[in-house]
Amino acid sequence: MMSFMKGRVLVVDDDSALAEMLGIVLRGEGFEPSFVADGDKALAAFREAKPDLVLLDLMLPGRDGIEVCRLIRAESGVPIVMLTAKSDTVDVVVGLESGADDYIVKPFKPKELVARIRARLRRSEEPAPEQLAIGDLVIDVAGHSVKRDGQSIALTPLEFDLLVALARKPWQVFTREVLLEQVWGYRHAADTRLVNVHVQRLRSKVEKDPEKPEIVVTVRGVGYKAGPS
C-alpha cells in the first residue's frame, strides 16, 4: 500500500502517434508504460505486463475496446480508464457497464490524463484497521474485503471505494457530485452517469435483490445513501 504510486500503465491504442505521445507524457510523470495496438493481443499483453492501470481506447482493430474491457475485468479488478472519442450516451455507458472505472474524452490535456490516472492509482491512504457495517455486510477497510455471513464478495477497487464512502457516513445522503469527488477524485463537476453505472454494478454484486436495493439506497432527486445496518 503505497500512498503515492508510480505504476505500470498498459496503453491499449491502435494509433501509433497517440500511443507514442502517451508514452512520452506518462514517462515524464514517472509511470512505466507498455503498449499494445491490437485488441486481440490486449489480454495476453495484460497478463504479461501485470499493469497497475489500463488505458484503453474504445476503437480498436480486432476485438473492440468494450470486449477487451470485459475480458480484463473478468479476471482482474485493475483500474481501467477508457479513452473515447465519443461522449455520446451509449458508448460511454456501455463502456462503464462493461467494467471501466472511468473514462476520458479525446482530446484531453496531458494534465487531465495524469490526474485521472493518479486518482485511480491512489489507494487507501489511511490503512488504519477499520471495520464498517452496512446492511448485513461487514467491510474490512484495511484488508480490502467485504463479507456477508462470512462469505466474501469480490469487488473492484473502485466499487470497494464507493461502498466504503457510503458506509463511513451512513447518516449522510451523498449527491452524485460528492461521490464523484470522493471516489473518482473529480475536483469539479463531471459526468454523473459514472456514479449511476457503478452503483448499478455495485448493487448487482452486493444486493440480495438488485431490484429492491437495501445496501445502496436511492434518495430520489438527491443521490444515494447507505441502507440501515
Residues that bind other proteins (CB under 8 A): 15, 17-18, 21-22, 24-25, 28, 59, 83, 85-86, 88-89, 106-111, 113, 175-177, 188-189, 191-193, 220-222
Q: Which CB sits closer to other proteins, 87 or 152? A: 87
CB of 175 vs other proteins, minimal distance in Å: 6
Closer residue to other proteins (CB): 109 or 208: 109
Separation of alpha carbons 26 and 141, rounded Å = 30
Quote the least distance from Cβ 15 to other proteins, whole Å: 5
Q: Which is nearer to other proteins, 120 or 176 (CB)?
A: 176
Q: Rounded CA gap, 186 and 213, in Å?
A: 26
Closest Cα to residue 101, out of 123, 127, 129? 123
* Residue 131, phi then psi, degrees to nearest 5: -110, 125
**Residues ≥6 apart with Cβ < 8 Å to 10:** 33, 34, 35, 36, 45, 46, 49, 51, 53, 54, 55
In the bound state with other proteins, the residue whose beta carbon lies nearer, of 130 and 177, is 177
Nearer to other proteins, 113 or 134 (CB): 113
Quick check: 45 and 65 in contact, CB under 8 A?
A: no
Closest separation between CB of residue 141 and other proteins, Å? Answer: 29
Torsion of CA 8, 14, 16, 18, to 10 degrees: -70
On whether the CB atoms of residues 225 and 215 are closer than 8 A, the answer is no
In the complex, the smallest distance separating the C-beta of residue 193 from other proteins, rounded to whole angstroms, is 7
Whole-number minimum distance, CB 203 to other proteins, in Å? 16
Q: How far is CA 77 from CA 99, 154, 156, 221, in A?
A: 9, 9, 4, 31
